[in-house]
Amino acid sequence: MSVGLEHYLILSAILFGIGLIGVLSKRNVVVILMCIEIMLNASNIALVAFSRYIEPAFLTGQLFAIFVIAVAAAEAAVGIAIIISIYRNRETINIDKFNLFKW
Amino acid sequence: MLDIVFWVLAIVAVLAALAVLILRDVFRAAMALILLFLTIAALYITLSADFLAVVQILIYVGAISILIIVGIMLTQNVKRGNPSGKLVIPALVTGILLIIILALSISRTFWNISNEAPVQNTTAPLGELMFGPGGYLFPVEMIAVLVLTAILGAIVLLREK
């Protein structure tokens, strides 16, 4: 069975699902950030696979993946800054205790 | 040959992603995440995306992983720092349901797979797409402004008064 588009897409779906399980079920907020990065990487694999198998001359999927990587870097920086600044006030990284919006 | 490489990389990637969820030590989970990023860079090379593979290593392994490790080190709960929350069973159900639905819809779609060979050295064509008449110059400049804004925001959040 030679490797085709569907193999890459199903790998991307499995990684996305694993990242989703991590985001929904973990308590350490840095681990939640790591699982968000897993989800973004899974979508990048799907983009590049589509670009290579459906329209190889255009490279649009790869350019989109570069933009997704840049946005993920910016989001990781701001996320870590928020986590560290909340940790300075509250000494906890348990996301059940991040209830700053509650009155 | 390419088939064996794909299967090995795919199995290593899935195991690394599961290791991020399962390992108790959060620093080891970060190491598993770095392994996942390297495996995905190798998958990009099997898809003939060579420039993107190098960008993945530079930015994900070189910058984002370091940022995550700084975050782990500054929030000191390392040894038992990766517990599961209260909603493990619903999260598992949701994730597995999503994977099954995606896999079924992927395998039942008819894809218009083209028979052209992929572009081999993608650096120059990507450069022409970004900065030439391809029309993507404005998003490139906006990405620069976005990353600058994110860095300024992070600095403002973290400075000592």
A7 contacts B10 by C-beta, under 8 angstroms: yes
Q: Which residues contact A92 (CB under 8 A, 6 or more apart)?
A: none
Q: Chain A to chain B, count of Cβ pairs less than 8 Å apart? A: 235
Q: How far is the alpha carbon of B62 from chain A, nearest alpha carbon, in Å?
A: 11
CB contact under 8 A, A27 and B85: yes
A94 beta partners: A28
At B74, the amino acid letter reads L
Query: What pLDDT, on a 0 to 100 scale, did the predictor assign at position B80?
Result: 64
At B4, the amino acid letter reads I
Tokens of B51: 């420039």
Mutate to test the interface with B, among A45, A66, A93 (most CBs of B within 10 A): A66
Query: What pLDDT, on a 0 to 100 scale, did the predictor assign at position B5?
Result: 94
Q: What is residue B3's three-state secondary structure?
A: helix
Q: Is the pLDDT of residue A101 over 80?
A: no
Query: Which residues of chain B does A67 touch, with a Cβ-Cβ cutoff of 8 Å?
Result: 139, 143
CA distances from A54 to A42, A49, A68 (A): 18, 8, 20
Query: Which residues of chain A does B91 touch, with a Cβ-Cβ cutoff of 8 Å?
Result: 20-21, 24-25
Spell out the per-residue pLDDT of chain B, length 161, in tens: 888 999 999 999 999 999 999 998 899 999 999 999 999 999 999 999 999 999 999 999 999 999 999 999 888 765 566 777 778 899 999 999 999 999 999 999 988 888 888 888 889 989 988 898 878 999 999 999 999 999 999 999 988 77
B30 contacts B82 by C-beta, under 8 angstroms: no
CB contact under 8 A, A16 and B102: yes
Query: Which residues of chain B does A36 touch, with a Cβ-Cβ cutoff of 8 Å?
Result: none
Distance CA B159, CA B161 (A): 6
Q: How far is the alpha carbon of B143 from chain A, nearest alpha carbon, in Å?
A: 7
Distance CA B10, CA B1 (A): 14
A30 contacts B75 by C-beta, under 8 angstroms: yes
A43 contacts A69 by C-beta, under 8 angstroms: no
Q: What is the ipTM of this complex?
A: 0.93
Query: Which residues of chain A does B70 touch, with a Cβ-Cβ cutoff of 8 Å?
Result: 80
> Model confidence over A3-35: pLDDT tens digits?
889 999 999 999 999 999 999 999 889 999 999
Candidates A5, A34, A57; nearest CB to B113: A5
What pTM value is reported for the model? 0.93
SS (HEC) of B41-110: HHHHHHCCCHHHHHHHHHHHHHHHHHHHHHHHHHCCCCCCCCCECCCHHHHHHHHHHHHHHHHHHHHCCC
Distance CA A5, CA A15 (A): 16
